[in-house]
Amino acid sequence: MTPLALLLTLSCVLFTLGLFAVLTRRNAILILVGVELMLNAANINFIAFWRYGQAGVEDPNMIGPMFVLFSIAIAAAEAAVGLAIILMVFRHTRSTDLNRLDSLHG
Amino acid sequence: MIALFILIPLIVLAALGAIWKARPVHAALLLALSLSLVAVLYLLLGADFLGLIQFSVYVGAVAVLIVFSLLITRPSDETKEIARRPQSILAGLICAVPVLAVLVYSVSYSIGSDEVSESSPSQFELAELGKSLFTTYAPAVMAVAVMLTAVMIGAALFARDFNQRES
Amino acid sequence: MNFLANQVDLSNAVDAPAIWTTLEALPQLPNRLVEWVGFQMNAPAWLATLLGMLVSAAVVVGVFLTCFALVSLVERKTLARIQNRYGPNRVGPWGLFQPVADGIKMLTKEDIVPDKAEKLLHLIAPIMIVIPAVLALGVLPYGKEWVPVNLELGLLFFFAVGAMTELSVFIAGWASGSKFPMLGSLRAISQMVSYELPLLISAIGVIMMTGSMSLPSIVEHQSQYNFGFISNWNIFTPWGLVGGIVFFIACIAEANRCPFDLPEGESEIVAGHMTEYSGFKYALFFMGEYLGLFAISGLFITLFLGGWSAPFAGLEFVPSWLWFFGKLVCVIMTMLWIRGTWMRVRMDQLMRFCWLFLIPLSLLTIPAAGIWRFCGDGFLAGLLGWGVTIPFLIIPYIIITVILNRRLAPATRQYHFAE
């Protein structure tokens, strides 16, 4: 198994774990935990392909790390806004359980 | 290579704990552990800068934000979460396993096509990254800057308690 | 003494007396000794390197643990003098053995873990407080030759490991399972996250001027002299002065010291996140706090006060690490002075001061550093740089403090019966 395959498998597993968390958790903050895992899975892909994916290429580029840099910045922003929204929801409903947010329920 | 074989199971184990632990603070701390191990992975792969950035952003900011909001929101008790487990796990598995299968299949398919050699891995050049950040990617940097400003203002606005305005 | 001769040849002091050159090499002595012994015994290269690294790490930890013991005594003595008392004076001459007595007391105390505590996390937290402080101490350049770990991204490494402290403070507060630690850790986290921003932003100007994140090269850049004698420290430039003051204030806040010691304000929330700890674990918290204080003061010295460089040309014959530790003593005494004279701020004042004053001011230092760099070197260019950057910094400062924050300023207190 090459390192690239190993890293890609890791990223697949992390993504699935994140998806699982998003699907099964009911606490909004813990859903955010799952989202962070999924984002990191994508980042690992970029780093893996930057490191091992351009072996024979002349003049290898830095697009992978660059993308990860932006991705980390955006992930931090996403966490901040997400948690601010969750706090606001909490203030209205006194709960972060997403099952309780059913006031538009028909 | 050996380091990868040690590190990757650790990352997966910590992530498993993060999605499995019923107590929210434990889940958040295990997420922090998992993401800091990913930072170590970046360091191992030669992307020092990204590893350190990953560590300071995820452990210093995101994990702290998550535990902070867990403290503020008094998370619902975990007994209900545990009671609901069998059905939610079943539903989660039904959705997640096909996704994993498709991902692994596509990865194995794309790697199997051409052999990627381990030799001559790319080097991380910080100066080059910095230069291209402010030339080629300058519009993207500006967009991120505008977004971060908007996020800061927006988060401050959202988190503000409108009911008890200070005098 | 083969290893010593080798070292003396390396140091570039020309006319200095032999004693100074030997002193300059003193911190490396154990390290060289181990390498020399390894060489004599034909040890494999990796073993000698590993042992050398372990020994140099042990030197740093040993030096700063001694500093910790001394400073904990000096702090009590100084505060006592400021408050017109004697301070500890019973154990040994001038109370010199007070740290030893304290240590014995701490170690022999019963280790109490509350029933409601999360046992594992309760144990991990004090360890996690000490680790980042020690790691951060490892990357600072203490002398010309004395750099324990020379990282290219040293500054980033310093801040990255510093980020761990917040999480460990949270763990300490949460795992104790009672109210005061929880409140203390909430306060501590919000304070540390807020003050991390001005700390980082005011360091950016230094990175811009040096063009590197490696701490030794930042010091190297400051160790030259303008006009033959004025040292090129960053604090002697307009942006560096503003950045340095902001950085120093943020340092005090990051180290949780008075006037920003709300997380462990004794009169309000017992001891904050350390309330439920006793014995050795409490000692570890104490140690982590002081080591963190040394690390952050060391970073302040490295970034703005010229690290190991001498203040005037012609004083270079004194060993460089002596200058570093002399500056460390000055910075820490200033912090003690502040602690002895200022009162603790309120929580809202603390946050407001950071977000409405320190962060805008530290953001200003980035373009100011850019302008300074653009003006270039030399007398006229320096004059131009001062002329442009001073209004650039002072006008927004006046706008921020006098106009925008006027509503928030505390009213002048009326002493009705003072006359």
- The subunits that touch chain B, with at least 3 C-beta pairs less than 8 Å apart, are A, C
In a mutational test of the A interface, the residue from B66, B109, B141, B148 whose CB has the highest number of chain A CBs within 10 Å is B66
- Asked if B54 and A34 come within 8 Å (Cβ–Cβ), the reply is no
Q: What ipTM, to 2 d.p.? A: 0.85
Type and span of the H or E element at C275: none
Q: pLDDT tens digit string along C249-280?
A: 999 988 888 788 877 766 777 777 888 888 88
Distance of CA C331 to the CA centre of its chain: 9
Q: What is the CATH number of the domain that holds B63?
A: 1.20.120.1200
- The answer to whether C157 faces chain B, any CB pair under 8 Å, is yes
> What architecture (CATH level 2) is domain A4-100?
Orthogonal Bundle (1.10)
State the smallest CA–CA distance between residue B97 and chain A in angstroms. Answer: 8
Flag if B27 and A33 touch (Cβ within 8 Å): yes
Tell me the per-residue pLDDT of B104-113, one tens digit each, with 9 for 90 and over: 888 877 765 5
Domain boundary among B12, B42, B76: B76
Contact list, B155 vs chain A (CB under 8 Å): 80-81, 83-84
pTM of the model: 0.86
Q: Which two tokens stand for residue C216?
A: 């030794």
Residue C259 lies in a domain: yes
C283 vs B116, which has greater pLDDT?
C283
Judged by a CB distance cut-off of 8 A, whether residue C170 touches chain B is yes
What token pair was written down for B28?
A: 């958040």
Name which of A81, A66, A70 is nearest A32 in CA terms: A81
User: Could A6 and B19 be called an inter-chain contact, meaning their C-beta atoms sit closer than 8 Å?
Assistant: no
B158 located within any domain: yes
* Residues C254 and C172 reside in one and the same domain: yes
Lowest-pLDDT range of C31-35, C56-60, C107-111, C195-199: C31-35
Q: Which of A76-85, C83-92, C257-266, C277-286 has the lowest mean pLDDT?
A: C257-266
* DSSP 8-state class, residue C273: G
Report the residue of chain B nearest C208, measured CA to CA: B130
**Both tokens of residue C1?**
């003494």
Question: B8 in a domain, yes or no?
Answer: yes
**Chains C and A touching, counted as 3 or more CB pairs less than 8 Å apart:** no
More confident residue, A56 or B82: B82
Q: Containing domain of residue B155, as a range? A: 131-162
Q: How confident is the model at residue C2 (pLDDT cuts 50, 70, 90)?
A: very low
Please report the pLDDT score of residue C294 as a whole number: 92
User: Which residue of A13, A65, A77 is in closest CB contact with B47?
Assistant: A65
DSSP-assigned letters across all residues of A84-98: HHHHHHHHHHS--BG
How does the average pLDDT of chain B come out, rounded? 81
Answer whether B55 sits within 8 Å of C152, measured CB to CB: no
Looking at residue C295, what is its pLDDT?
Answer: 92
Per-domain boundaries in chain A? 4-100
Tell me the pLDDT band of A57, cut-offs 50, 70 and 90: low
The number of distinct structural domains making up chain C is 2
In a domain, C325, yes or no: yes
How many domains does the structure of chain B reveal? 2
Chain B from 1 to 20: CB within 8 A of any C CB: none
B126/C156 touch (CB, cutoff 8 Å), yes or no:
no
The verdict on residue B37 lying in a domain is yes
Closest in A6, A12, A81 to B155, CB measured = A81
Residue closest to C206 by CA, chosen among C302, C297, C303, C298: C303
Q: Classify residue B26: in a domain, yes or no.
A: yes
Q: Determine whether C238 is exposed, middle or buried from the number of CB atoms within 10 Å of its CB (0-12, 13-18, 19+).
A: buried
Do chains B and C touch, with touching meaning 3 or more CB–CB pairs less than 8 Å apart? yes
Q: Is residue B84 part of a domain?
A: no
Domain end position, chosen among B49, B76, B103: B76
Same structural domain, C198 and C320:
yes
Of B11, B61, B129, the CB nearest to A76: B61
Q: How confident is the model at residue B165 (pLDDT cuts 50, 70, 90)?
A: low
Confidence at residue B83, expressed as pLDDT on a 0 to 100 scale: 74
Model confidence band, residue B122 (pLDDT cutoffs 50, 70, 90): low
B119: pLDDT strictly greater than 80: no
Mean pLDDT for the stretch of residues C13-23: 62
Q: Under 8 Å CB-to-CB from B93, ≥6 apart: which residues?
A: A20
Q: How near does any CA of chain B get to the CA of A87, in Å? A: 6
Find the domain containing C377 and state its range. Answer: 110-403
For C313-352, how does the pLDDT look when each residue is reduced to its tens digit (9 = 90+)?
777 777 888 888 999 999 999 999 998 888 888 887 888 8
pLDDT at C354: 86
pLDDT at C217 > cutoff 50: yes
Task: Spell B76-115 as b/e; 16+ CB within 10 A means b.
Answer: beeeebeeeeeeeeeebeeebeeebeebeeebeeebeeee
* Residue A35 to chain B, least CA–CA distance (Å): 11
At residue C71, does pLDDT exceed 50?
yes
Chain B interface test: which of A1, A7, A11, A12 (most B C-beta within 10 Å): A12
**pLDDT classification of C389: cutoffs 50, 70, 90:** confident
* pLDDT reading at C379 higher than 80: no
Report yes or no on B89 lying in a domain.
Answer: no
* List of chain A residues whose C-beta atoms are within 8 Å of the C-beta of residue B72: 87, 90
Q: Is residue C138 part of a domain?
A: yes
Q: C115-156: per-residue pLDDT in tens?
A: 888 888 888 888 988 999 999 998 888 888 788 888 888 899
- Distance (Å) from the C-alpha of residue B43 to the closest C-alpha of chain C? 12
Are B118 and A52 inside 8 Å of each other by CB? yes
In the structure, what pLDDT confidence band is assigned to residue B64 with cuts at 50, 70 and 90?
confident
The answer, for A63 touching chain B at a CB cutoff of 8 Å, is no
Q: What is the mean pLDDT of chain C?
A: 82
Instruction: Check whether B159 has a pLDDT greater than 80.
Output: no
